[in-house]
Amino acid sequence: MLACTSSAPAGPTPPGEFKRYDLSSVSDAFSATVSNGEVAALSLNAVKGGAVIYRRAFGALAVGQPTPLGGATAMPSAMVILALADSGKLRLDDPVSKYIHAFTGEITVRQLLNHTSGLPADAPILKDNSSTLEKAADAIAALPPAAKPGEAFLYSAAGYQVAGRVAEVAGDNRWAHLFDDYLGGTVGLTDFTYGNTRNPRLLDGGTASPDDYARILDVQLHDGLFSTHRVLSPASITLMQSDQVTGISVMAASPTGTHGQSIGWGIESVDADGKPQLLSAGGGAAAYAWTDLKSEYAGCLVAVGSFEATHSIATRIQPLISAALSRPAG
């Protein structure tokens, strides 16, 4: 089973009933954006306080329609690997060679997830859907490194592919089943998929609806909980929401990590003390996800267009949402 089709857990399942805020300014902005041809269509699902606060589509996209996630795939992938670490199946500071014998150096699992492994950005085998994560990891191990481990930040799909194979070995299961067991089943995902392949691209190969992605975002807003169900430890959530690359030189930045990189997220803005305020993920497809730690909400915006256009639209509507959230719900 390569798509997550598990039923949602019993009991309250946020995001649930709509919480009402006056977000008409957001709808007006979306309508104008589609009308002027900036994008052909777009859809947004936003959540706050365990409830959906916005769920609308404009143009050719239907509400809840699955679309490619591109770089927004990395955050849910990272959550699964951190859940394995929480369960004791692996440790982030383990050497990769403990799980994959083709690796002999000092690269750690943590460095794969925060893009400081020194592995190249991409590898030809990542495009081979007939392959497996095992073969992909072995092929990547044979490539010349781009940097020494821990010395540079290099946004790397190859690194996340290797992390997926580490998870398979540590969890003694295929990636698709690990995803269902540690994330998809717990939060009730219905259409999140990496495609019909045993070589899923963990960084940028996912497809999902904004509805499904919003359920994942809800975990980020509630210290690792979905309703009463523990997905990640608070420590793992803190790790995902903290800069992991301070002081490290940048060879190739992530599409959204303008102020640093956590695990699974780029850090797009910080406060006066340098603390992350806006975490985001995207790139390579017209999907963009974010968690606003100041306004305590999160959203997934997808469009028919380019990532650059989606990101531009998001930066325009984010202040509108924050302003609406500062007013009491109706």
- The whole-number pLDDT of residue 199 equals 98
Q: Is residue 14 part of a domain?
A: no
Q: Is residue 48 part of a domain?
A: yes
Q: Is residue 7 part of a domain?
A: no
Whole-angstrom distance, CA of residue 156 vs CA of residue 66: 25
* Pair 106, 142: CB distance under 8 Å: no
Model confidence at 83: pLDDT above 90: yes
Model confidence at 105: pLDDT above 90: no
Whole-angstrom distance, CA of residue 24 vs CA of residue 14: 23
Match 């194979």 to its residue by tokens.
165
The pLDDT of 90-97, averaged and rounded, is: 98
Token pair of 298, please? 């999160």
Closest among 297, 313, 308 to 255, alpha carbons compared = 308
Band (327; pLDDT cuts 50, 70, 90): confident
DSSP string, 61-125: PPTT--EE-GGGGHHHHHHHHHHHHHTTS--TTSBGGGT-TT--S--BHHHHHTT-S---S--GG
Which carries the bigger pLDDT value, residue 97 or residue 329?
Answer: 97
pTM of the model: 0.94
Match 């790790």 to its residue by tokens.
239
- The whole-number pLDDT of residue 10 equals 35
The pLDDT of 89-114, averaged and rounded, is: 97
Whole-angstrom distance, CA of residue 79 vs CA of residue 99: 19
- The whole-number pLDDT of residue 15 equals 60
- The whole-number pLDDT of residue 330 equals 58
Range of lowest pLDDT (7-16, 85-94, 113-122): 7-16
Closest among 180, 213, 176, 189 to 55, alpha carbons compared = 213
Helix axes 74-86, 210-221, angle to 10 degrees: 40
The pLDDT of 299-304, averaged and rounded, is: 97
- The whole-number pLDDT of residue 314 equals 98
* pLDDT more than 90, % of the chain: 91
Closest among 115, 117, 92 to 239, alpha carbons compared = 92
Model confidence at 41: pLDDT above 90: yes
Q: Is residue 11 part of a domain?
A: no
Whole-angstrom distance, CA of residue 287 vs CA of residue 160: 19
User: How many other C-beta atoms can be found within 10 angstroms of the C-beta atom of residue 36?
Assistant: 8
For the chain, the domain total comes to 1
Question: Any idea what the CATH number is for the domain that residue 281 is in?
Answer: 3.40.710.10
- The whole-number pLDDT of residue 91 equals 98
Average confidence score pLDDT of the chain: 93
**Using one digit for the tens of pLDDT, what is the confidence trace for 204-242?**
999 999 999 999 999 999 999 999 999 999 999 999 999
Helix axes 24-35, 307-325, angle to 10 degrees: 160
**Using one digit for the tens of pLDDT, what is the confidence trace for 175-210?**
999 999 999 999 999 999 999 999 999 999 999 999
- The whole-number pLDDT of residue 152 equals 96
Beta strand ranges found along the chain (DSSP E)? 41-48, 51-59, 67-68, 152-154, 207-208, 225-226, 229-230, 249-252, 266-270, 276-282, 287-292, 297-304
Match 């793992």 to its residue by tokens.
236
- The whole-number pLDDT of residue 11 equals 34
Q: In which domain, by residue range, is 167 found?
A: 24-325
Q: Is residue 309 part of a domain?
A: yes
Residue type, 319: P
The pLDDT of 250-266, averaged and rounded, is: 94
